[in-house]
Amino acid sequence: MSGPSHDPALYRPRDVVTIRRALVSVSDKTGLVELATALAAANVEIVSTGSTAATIAAAGIPVTEVAAVTGYPESLDGRVRTLHPAIHSGLLADLRLESHERELAEQGIAPFELVVSNLYPFVQTINAGVTGDAAVEQIDIGGPAMVRASAKNHANVAIVTSPDSYQQVTKALSIGGTTLRQRRRLAAEAFAHTAAYDAAVAAWFATSPFDEADNADSAGSADVNSDTVVAQGDVSDTAFSPEQQVTVTGSLQQVLRYGENSHQSAALYLRADGHGIAQAEQLHGKEMSFNNYVDADAALRAAYDFDEPAVAIIKHANPCGIAIGGGAGDPIATAHHRAHECDPVSAFGGVIAANRIITIAAAEAIKDIFTEVVVAPGFEPAALELLSTKKNLRLLQLPADYSREATEVKQISGGLLVQQLDTHFAPFENWTLATGEPVDDATRDDLVFAWRAVRAVKSNGILLAHNGASVGVGMGQVNRVDSCHLAVNRAGERAAGSVAASDAFFPFADGLQVLLDAGVRAVVQPGGSVRDAEVIAAAEAAGVTMYFTGERHFFH
């Protein structure tokens, strides 16, 4: 169904619109009194609702209740307030058209030139753990209707959805009104605001547990497609159920200097429900770049694969080293030392992530190594002070509720790929001993470490490990043999006596043979090749133990 059609010749040009009447209804009261004071000083009539009107009145500022405009009291516990022709005609009347101006006059309705509205705090409500009907009550209806109506009618109405834009309003009051360019920009922000809000609501409905009544209604229909999904939430091993509609939204946080290369433009957008690297607080250093964010996220992905204190050093989204802390001394400092030893040449100019607070001992080690970014859940005061002496080192502190989304989205030309995050690691007890003798506890621990660490390596991925640290990494090669050679060459003498993990099976024995010739003492790999027998025979001939996990960890 299409909207009304008008002859373009009927539209009268309109650029600057003087603000005479404003509709103000906000959940976030930040800056409200100051804005209302400026509006009143400019002789703007303020129409408002509920607690917003009460806040304005309490400040001694004249305000007209919406009920006085509609002639209808707020009803149904506040569910119905502004949903009335006396309000929406004033929002939607296109005063470039004489017919609209005449119709408003005939109905005795005054237009609005400004609408200030932000919506019920739905995301904050569900993030606080509120569920069921209490969460449903935080779904705004009248607010999005006002915002969308005003944004559609941006030729005549300025719509403001964030306190950050209040300064624009006060400036417009001082220069005679809002410009068309300004109103169009505000309209774009408004539509993005409602889109993100609706996406959060849709995601909640798609992922929140059903109550008993819902379960009764949906019995036997667990795989029926629903309307929408948004990639969000805590990481879990629950099955991923693709939905009919994917919505990905974000609000502009920062325009970056450039993208992957200096000729590419780039920007950082924040998701309303995000708790990741994008929400990290920068404590020190130069502005983050596009590549800094990509590498920092990859480093966190690797470090947070471990429950033990762990450090990952990343360069171009691949690990230069990964290690866990152990033995005597500071565990994070130990983990960093072991991770750095894996490939100190590549670690130059890398990104460091830790899954524990950066201690002064760790900071002492990091300060003399050229590093782009250090990201962690926090920094000891002395560590922060020390690292802050490095002018160009970026220090990021993760949000307290840091988490990754349960699904990840990758853009391809013409569409999106959505998949469940790779968070599952087959436990050692479920591995199959393919050849050799069962390993001792120390070797088992190294194999488990290597199997977790290799997930962070771009495929084809090979990782050699010893004593809870990587000693050689081969990544991103187009065949597994080259990755094996690369891992062995980087490990050097440390390859002898190490364990090896392969992110996918060995299609032939040649790649494994490279590792065996280097002196690897045990191997873990998915298994499942049509030539497994050939690969097993090579391991048996070398007297090396090999386990199959039954799962792979490709990472592209």
Q: pLDDT, tens digit, for every residue of 531-555? A: 999 999 999 999 999 999 999 999 9
Give dist(CA 510, CA 531) in Å, integer: 11
pLDDT of amino acid 217: 38
Q: Is the per-residue pLDDT at 207 higher than 70?
A: no
Percentage of the chain beyond pLDDT 90 is 49
Q: pLDDT, tens digit, for every residue of 43-57? A: 888 988 878 888 999
**Winning range, highest mean pLDDT, from 66-80, 234-248, 423-437:** 423-437
Domain range 428-548, CATH class: alpha beta
pLDDT of amino acid 86: 73
Give dist(CA 554, CA 284) in Å, integer: 35
pLDDT of amino acid 273: 75
pLDDT of amino acid 170: 87
pLDDT of amino acid 389: 96
pLDDT of amino acid 229: 32
User: Residue 204 has what DSSP assignment?
Assistant: H
Q: pLDDT, tens digit, for every residue of 160-199? A: 888 888 888 888 888 888 888 888 888 888 888 787 777 7
pLDDT of amino acid 475: 95
Using 50, 70 and 90 to split pLDDT, how confident is the model at 463?
A: very high
- Identify the active-site residue in 29, 88, 100, 152: 152
Domain range 275-397, CATH class: alpha beta
Q: Is the per-residue pLDDT at 144 higher than 90?
A: no
pTM of the predicted model as reported, rounded to 2 decimal places: 0.69
More confident residue, 67 or 226: 67
In the chain, domain spans: 16-204, 275-397, 428-548
Give the mean pLDDT of the chain: 85
Evaluate whether 275-397 and 428-548 have a shared fold: yes
Q: Is the per-residue pLDDT at 234 higher than 50?
A: no
Distance of CA 195 to the CA centre of its chain: 16
Q: Is the per-residue pLDDT at 519 higher than 70?
A: yes
pLDDT of amino acid 372: 96
314-336 mean pLDDT: 92
pLDDT of amino acid 14: 65
Q: How far is CA 275 from CA 35, 98, 398, 445, in A?
A: 31, 50, 8, 31
pLDDT of amino acid 232: 32
Q: Is the per-residue pLDDT at 237 higher than 50?
A: no
| Contact (Cβ atoms closer than 8 angstroms) between residue 187 and residue 28 | no
More confident residue, 333 or 76: 333
Number of residues that this document lists for the chain? 556
More confident residue, 436 or 148: 436
Fold type of domain 16-204: Rossmann fold (3.40.50)
98-111 mean pLDDT: 80
More confident residue, 139 or 507: 507
Q: Is the per-residue pLDDT at 469 higher than 80?
A: yes
Of the given ranges (34-38, 192-196, 280-284), which has the lowest mean pLDDT?
A: 192-196
Helices 480-491/509-517 angle, 10° precision: 10
Q: Is the per-residue pLDDT at 479 higher than 90?
A: yes
Q: pLDDT, tens digit, for every residue of 419-458? A: 888 989 999 999 999 999 999 999 999 999 999 999 999 9
| Contact (Cβ atoms closer than 8 angstroms) between residue 141 and residue 6 | no
Q: Is 6 a catalytic residue?
A: no
Q: Is 152 a catalytic residue?
A: yes
- Identify the active-site residue in 29, 100, 171, 316: 316
pLDDT of amino acid 444: 97
pLDDT of amino acid 10: 64
411-426 mean pLDDT: 89
Q: Is the peptide bond before 479 cis (omega within 30 degrees of 0)?
A: no
Q: Is the per-residue pLDDT at 215 higher than 80?
A: no
Helices 142-152/180-207 angle, 10° precision: 150
Name the nearest CA neighbour of 311 among 449, 182, 141: 449
